[in-house]
């Protein structure tokens, strides 16, 4: 293998083009095998193999700095920068993260997992270089899908007037995760179709010098162009046309499905897809189709991640004009949805918890200040073993401290449907619903709660001494805790399903004071700024004790969920221990 003698980029620089082509093929094989084993980003990495080799061949990394955007295309880079063992040795498949990580290598500048950041970060690297009187190339590598994000566009606008060396490589594979949407993409297509010579050129209009490489999977062509821009004294765009999934037929043909794959996908290509059972996703999809069949002015909006919600191509086609994918542009998505609502139509904005934080100001100003009756569905909210870049545990502090919005936490199918209908049909508030990220639960009984009566918690079982508030995903844990306390301490606790994240049921909490001395809150997210602290604040001036359970303020990084639960004491037996201690202490000190 050529790869045997390549450990770091410096080893590349003595290879012939033929050897580099063989190397590309070796790297591709490693990626296919590893990703099919562990799951991960397949298409983006296969498309960028040649460009990665060419970059490290031409530029003097690590002195020259490459800033990756979203960095789900960094596997070839990791292989070439001292970390090939993580792809060669199945025992080490999990040693390195799927994103750039400075703690792993000096070749990785930033920890990155959200899109559209590379140009701004590269501008900062270049500015520091200039202030310190240093001299090296700064390269940002950004995919076409990331270009639609506001941060990327702000970055391009500023990079264009930086006045010194910055090289922005636009990796154009004509796809975001799904197909692209937006005027920029028409321009990219024009540029591809004219070999970079279209009259209108987005990048030139901003003032960039512009280069085009039609075959972005051809190492020689890439090297040739990179050599031309190396050492430039001004901002440059190199637009390279690559093939997403390049070298793996099924990935080339199914670009969306092979953007990110589950383990073993390649081993089960011929098996028919099993009929998926009912889920919160399927309920949502049916709800939407039903409204369309009723000819209602519904509009489903999302920002470039339809797969998160199960909106496959077939489903999107059914939605037709009732569907807008704005591309990676969460800020626009919220303002757009707010205005649709304010104008009397019915928007449903679907967003993953980790990405809702890309649009705080729009939720506050465009949406909540205008009190537009939007339905926002927040998916995947909760603690997880995810990479630090994709945590979903901040949506409660983020959303619930903004005035006017109502944030709801259903605990089962019937509540979810009832909340969806309520939100869809009302016109008083922006409403967000935290779609449960736990398996579908069903009570079997329709939920007829009138959710227009805000902040009314539901007492599921009456008890005494201890009240347990189990919010959303953690209502099931609350049940377990109740049973554990009954068994261990012989106390019949009151079980409460708060349902409302954004408000406190003062009447109920007040009434608990008469025969409860301890209130427990459980929330599937960070405690800081969250739900439990409001309950603590409420009881702070009373003799009622409160124990808040949830995550601590930290960026956990690929920590197994069970380990997190133990650390945060989110287990029935640990909570029962705390309760016992608290009750003892209270007796001693009160």
Member of 110, 260, 379, 416 binding its own copies (CB under 8 A): 110
Distance CA 70, CA 541 (A): 46
- What are the backbone dihedrals phi and psi of residue 539, each rounded to the nearest 5 degrees, phi first? -90, 0
Distance CA 460, CA 462 (A): 7
Tokens of 289: 């189709």
- Site residues (CB under 8 A) for its own copies, limited to 203-222: 204-208
Q: Are 506 and 556 in contact (CB under 8 A)?
A: no
Residue 70 or 261 having the CB closest to its own copies: 70
Which residues 6+ apart lie within 8 Å of 418 measured at CB? 410, 446, 447, 448, 449, 451
Residue 76 or 532 having the CB closest to its own copies: 532
- Site residues (CB under 8 A) for its own copies, limited to 157-186: 157-161, 181-184, 186
Give CA 196 to chain center in angstroms.
33
Distance CA 332, CA 181 (A): 13
Member of 400, 437, 473, 493 binding its own copies (CB under 8 A): 400
Stretches 88-96, 171-179, 250-258, 392-400: which one binds its own copies (CB under 8 A)? 392-400
Could you tell me the smallest distance in angstroms from the CB atom of residue 439 to its own copies? 29
Q: How many CB atoms lie within 10 A of CB 501?
A: 26
Member of 80, 238, 335, 478 binding its own copies (CB under 8 A): 335
Buried b (16+ CB within 10 A) or exposed e, 173-186: bbbbbbbbbbebbe
Residue 387 or 447 having the CB closest to its own copies: 387
Regarding 582 and contact with its own copies (CB under 8 A), the answer is: yes
Regarding 360 and contact with its own copies (CB under 8 A), the answer is: yes
Regarding 19 and contact with its own copies (CB under 8 A), the answer is: no
Stretches 90-98, 281-289, 321-329, 440-448: which one binds its own copies (CB under 8 A)? 321-329
Could you tell me the smallest distance in angstroms from the CB atom of residue 65 to its own copies? 8
Residue 118 or 284 having the CB closest to its own copies: 118
- Contact letters (x/-) for its own copies, 261-290, by CB under 8 A? ------------------------------
Distance CA 151, CA 116 (A): 6
Stretches 241-249, 386-394, 481-489, 558-566: which one binds its own copies (CB under 8 A)? 386-394
- Site residues (CB under 8 A) for its own copies, limited to 291-310: 297-299
Regarding 28 and contact with its own copies (CB under 8 A), the answer is: no
Give CA 110 to chain center in angstroms.
17
Regarding 144 and contact with its own copies (CB under 8 A), the answer is: no
Q: Are 120 and 112 in contact (CB under 8 A)?
A: no
Q: How many CB atoms lie within 10 A of CB 480?
A: 18
Could you tell me the smallest distance in angstroms from the CB atom of residue 404 to its own copies? 7
Could you tell me the smallest distance in angstroms from the CB atom of residue 341 to its own copies? 8
Q: Are 419 and 410 in contact (CB under 8 A)?
A: yes
Pair type for strands 138-143 and 166-172: parallel
Residue 339 or 440 having the CB closest to its own copies: 339
Regarding 149 and contact with its own copies (CB under 8 A), the answer is: yes
Regarding 378 and contact with its own copies (CB under 8 A), the answer is: no
Tokens of 45: 């990495």
Distance CA 567, CA 514 (A): 33
- Contact letters (x/-) for its own copies, 512-551, by CB under 8 A? --------------xxxxx-xxx-xx-xxxxx-xxxx---
Stretches 84-92, 393-401, 410-418, 448-456: which one binds its own copies (CB under 8 A)? 393-401
**Which is it for the CA torsion 62, 111, 179, 37, positive or negative?**
positive
């Amino acid at each position: 293998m050529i790869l045997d003698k390549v450990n770091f980029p410096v080893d590349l620089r003595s290879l012939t083009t033929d050897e580099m082509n063989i190397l590309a093929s070796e790297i591709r094989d490693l990626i296919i095998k590893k990703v099919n084993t562990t799951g991960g980003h397949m298409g983006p990495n296969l498309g960028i193999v040649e460009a990665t080799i060419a970059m490290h061949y031409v530029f003097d990394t690590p002195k020259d700095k490459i800033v990756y955007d979203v960095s789900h295309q960094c596997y070839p880079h990791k292989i070439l920068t001292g970390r090939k063992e993580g792809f060669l040795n199945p025992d080490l498949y999990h040693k390195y993260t799927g994103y750039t990580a400075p703690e792993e290598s000096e070749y990785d500048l930033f920890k990155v997992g959200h899109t559209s950041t590379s140009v701004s970060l590269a501008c900062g690297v270049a500015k520091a270089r200039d202030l310190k009187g240093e001299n090296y190339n700064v390269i940002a590598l950004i995919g076409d899908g990331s270009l639609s994000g506001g941060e990327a566009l702000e970055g391009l606008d500023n990079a264009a007037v930086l006045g010194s060396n910055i090289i922005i490589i636009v990796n154009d594979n004509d796809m975001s995760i799904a197909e692209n949407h937006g005027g920029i993409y028409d321009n990219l297509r024009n540029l591809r179709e004219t070999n970079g010579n279209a009259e209108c050129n987005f990048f030139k209009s901003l003032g960039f010098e512009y280069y085009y490489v039609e075959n972005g999977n051809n190492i020689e062509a890439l090297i040739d162009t990179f050599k031309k821009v190396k050492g430039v004294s001004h901002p440059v765009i190199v637009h390279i046309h690559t093939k997403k999934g390049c070298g793996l037929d099924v990935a080339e043909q199914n670009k969306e499905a092979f953007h990110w794959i589950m383990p073993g996908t390649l081993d089960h290509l011929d098996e028919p897809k099993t009929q998926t059972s009912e889920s919160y996703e399927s309920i949502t999809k049916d709800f939407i189709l039903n409204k369309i069949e009723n000819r209602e002015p519904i509009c489903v909006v999302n920002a470039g991640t339809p797969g998160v919600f199960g909106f496959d191509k077939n489903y999107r086609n059914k939605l037709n004009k009732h569907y807008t994918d704005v591309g990676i542009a969460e800020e626009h998505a919220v303002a757009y949805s707010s205005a649709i609502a304010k104008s009397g139509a019915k928007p449903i904005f679907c967003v993953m918890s980790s990405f809702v934080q890309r649009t705080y100001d729009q939720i506050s100003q465009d949406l909540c200040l205008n009190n537009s009756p939007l339905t926002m569905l927040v998916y995947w909210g909760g603690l997880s073993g995810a990479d630090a870049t994709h945590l979903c545990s901040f949506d409660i502090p983020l959303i619930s401290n903004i005035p006017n919005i109502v944030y709801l936490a259903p605990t089962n199918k019937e509540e979810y449907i009832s909340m969806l209908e309520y939100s869809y049909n009302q016109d008083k508030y922006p409403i967000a619903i935290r779609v449960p990220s736990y398996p579908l639960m069903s009570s079997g009984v329709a939920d007829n709660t009138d959710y227009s009566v805000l902040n009314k918690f539901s007492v599921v079982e009456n008890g005494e001494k201890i009240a347990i508030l189990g919010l959303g995903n953690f209502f099931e844990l609350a049940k377990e805790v109740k049973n554990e306390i009954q068994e261990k301490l012989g106390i019949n606790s009151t079980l409460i399903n708060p349902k409302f994240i954004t408000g406190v049921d003062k009447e109920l909490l007040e009434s608990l004071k008469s025969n409860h001395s301890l209130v427990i809150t459980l929330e599937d997210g960070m405690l800081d700024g969250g739900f439990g602290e409001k309950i603590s604040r409420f009881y702070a001036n009373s003799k009622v004790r409160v124990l808040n359970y949830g995550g601590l303020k930290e960026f956990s990084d690929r920590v197994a969920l069970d380990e997190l639960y133990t650390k945060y004491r989110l287990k029935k037996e640990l909570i029962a221990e705390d309760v016992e201690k608290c009750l003892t202490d209270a007796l001693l000190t009160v």
